A = this chain, B = another copy of it.
Amino acid sequence: MTNEIKIFSPATVANVACGFDVLGFCLDNVGDEMVIRKISKKGIYITKIEGYNLPYEAHLNVAGVSALALIEDANPDCGFEIEIYKHIKPGSGIGSSSASAAGSVFGINELLGRPYNNTQLTYFAMKGEAIASMSEHADNLAPALFGGFTLVKSIAPLEILQIPTPKELYATIIHPQIEIKTSEARAILPKNVPLKDAIGQWANVGSLIHALHTSNYSLIQRSLQDIIVEPYRSKLIPHFDDVKFAALNHGALGCSISGSGPSIFALSEGLEVAKNVEDAMKTIYSETGIEFDTFVSPINTKGIKILNS
């Protein structure tokens, strides 16, 4: 058995318009790289961090905390070094902390001979995610570990469903370089919502799941509506309405906030449309003076990938 593994841990989009707190999907072109190495000394040791300034102490680092949760359960007769090559900017809203939290447990699980399934890995990763977002949630972790579209049916007990991914779906992401704290994005939400709106939202969740099963792109379009959360959170993102209007106007099936923002995602049928949507988003933001970056990605149906081992 190999003693070292290098992985790609992808960025992810949570909520997916109608599915606040439950739906997510996995991106392919942007993600962190991590090297996990089995060592004789017990414990978790973060030995290298490149890209962003993050804590080296395992119990303070998202990837470290999830790894510690795993080895507490597995109690292996060895330890692990973790190198983190961070490409997903923390706080960007495309699952930066989830990529770290999921990547470390995925890698350790491989080096231990896969004693855990993806749901169990998600459970450990939630412990790491919790120190970043102050709450245990899995809507970014699930797509990172399972790939494709996922529905977190419940947290306790943890149950994750893999929803089929239509072949021609592409995501476009714009990340405005502003800071929105997850805790702030949560605080802005109402405690109660009109029953009428909730009914509209669960109709959309149901129809999106049906549309993904049947590769019905026009139904995906009609389902990607968020009448509950987006009206509140979009106020935290400058020019959100303009970006959304431009994306839809250039053929996107839907456009909404990625996770708690500030990133905005669009889904399109076909790579060409997704690129047109990217250009349209760029045009809006290039006039604002706010730094931003954009990318287009297919939906990653594998999740975390092994680069070599």
Give me the interface of A with B, judged by CB distance under 8 Å: 18-23, 151-154, 159, 161, 163, 189-195, 198-210, 213, 219, 222-223, 228
Q: Considering only CB atoms, which chain B residue lies closest to A207 in the complex?
A: B153
Inter-chain CA distance A163–B212, complex, in Å, is: 12
Q: Is the CB–CB distance between A21 and B199 below 8 Å?
A: yes
Q: Is the CB–CB distance between A195 and B161 below 8 Å?
A: no
Inter-chain CA distance A206–B208, complex, in Å, is: 8
Q: Is the CB–CB distance between B153 and A23 below 8 Å?
A: no
23 sample A-B contacts, Cβ–Cβ < 8 Å, listed by A number = A19-B202, A20-B199, A20-B202, A22-B202, A22-B203, A151-B210, A153-B203, A153-B206, A153-B207, A153-B222, A161-B210, A161-B219, A163-B210, A189-B195, A190-B195, A192-B193, A198-B198, A201-B202, A202-B202, A202-B205, A202-B206, A205-B205, A210-B213
Quickly give the copy total for this chain: 2
Residue in B163, B201, B203 whose CB lies within 8 Å of A152: B203
Inter-chain CA distance A209–B21, complex, in Å, is: 18
Taking CB atoms, residues of chain B closer than 8 Å to A219 are 153, 161
New A-B contacts (4) at CB < 8 Å, excluding given A22-B203, A190-B195, A193-B198:
A151-B210, A153-B203, A195-B228, A202-B202
Inter-chain CA distance A191–B19, complex, in Å, is: 21
Inter-chain CA distance A193–B194, complex, in Å, is: 6
Taking CB atoms, residues of chain B closer than 8 Å to A189 are 195
Taking CB atoms, residues of chain B closer than 8 Å to A199 are 20-22
A153 to chain B, nearest CB (A): 4
Inter-chain CA distance A151–B163, complex, in Å, is: 18
Taking CB atoms, residues of chain B closer than 8 Å to A207 are 151, 153, 159, 161
Inter-chain CA distance A213–B207, complex, in Å, is: 12
Q: Is the CB–CB distance between A195 and B203 below 8 Å?
A: no
Q: Is the CB–CB distance between B192 and A222 below 8 Å?
A: no
